Amino acid sequence: MKIIVAIKQVPERDAQVRIDSSGKWIEESEVQYAMNESDAYALEEALQLKEKHSGEVVVVSAGPERVGTTIREALAKGADRAIHIDCSDLAQRDALGSARLLAEAIRGENADLVLTGLQSDDLGYGQTGVILAELLGVPHATLILHVEKTDAGLKVKRELEAGWFQEIELPLPAALTIQSGGNKLRYATLMGIKKAKTKEMRVVSAADLGAAATPVATLQSIELPKKQRSTQIIEGDAKAAAATLVEKLKFEVRVL
């Protein structure tokens, strides 16, 4: 199988971010970056499929030069080669613009399977993988926790709401968006890190791909979340108050 995995470099989850002077993005010079979490699970799913059925795993990522560190991490974990789409204006592209970049970069690969994360940790659109499938003209499924190759194609397990799951079958080629938590992520070994230095990483520019930044939606501004505190007095006897408290913790605070 030839499997394409789209990965994105995003700010680390515990990074202290500041809004830049334009008010439209963060101050990137002060931020540490990492591989997007659900993309890491997509990579792990691809590597496990390769180990079971042989083949090739190719990672593709768009962004400026710093994205190369995240690509090398994927190569160190076991991907065979990579495509880096050199693009300095990725933050100004909407989901359609990003999907067009990825589609043009991988169209000639004739992959059996394309995997993306469910959504990015920075923007959280949750649309790029689905749009990519449409641009490539292949069937797709979302919220995938497990992938199994069959004689007819694929059998996948989807996570639905309220603890429900769904199993469906798809023909190949196909595209899937992977949910976090389906597998245990592997670490890059010292040998893998050494091998990554010799693996192919082809660099193409957005201009070469003919995918100009023409967003359908324009990002006007971003803001840091506002911290708010509130106090609620729960009336009634102890039993009624406890029941009300549990309900609020479940459905309003969502910690139970």
- Indicate which CATH number applies to the domain containing 174: 3.40.50.620
User: pLDDT tens-digit profile of 23-33?
Assistant: 888 888 778 89
Does residue 215 register a pLDDT over 80? no
Q: Does any domain span residue 139?
A: yes
* Closest listed residue to residue 204, CA positions, set 76, 107, 135: 107
**Domain around 100:** 2-209
Q: Does any domain span residue 27?
A: yes
> How wide is the angle at C-alpha 244 spanned by C-alphas 238 and 250, nearest 5°?
135
Q: Does any domain span residue 234?
A: no
Specify the amino acid at residue 178: I
Q: Does any domain span residue 254?
A: no
For residue 212, the model assigns a pLDDT of 63
Helix (H) or strand (E) holding 67: helix 67-77
Report d(CA 201, CA 221) in Å as an integer: 34
Domain total for the chain? 1
Q: Do residues 106 and 138 lie in contact, with contact meaning Cβ atoms separated by under 8 Å? A: no
Q: Does any domain span residue 226?
A: no
Q: Does any domain span residue 38?
A: yes
Q: Does any domain span residue 218?
A: no
For residue 67, the model assigns a pLDDT of 96
**What pTM does this model have?**
0.83
For residue 24, the model assigns a pLDDT of 81
For residue 214, the model assigns a pLDDT of 59
3-state secondary structure of 171: coil
Q: Does any domain span residue 215?
A: no
User: pLDDT tens-digit profile of 226-240?
Assistant: 777 778 888 888 988
Residue 123 or 45, more confident: 45
3-state secondary structure of 155: strand
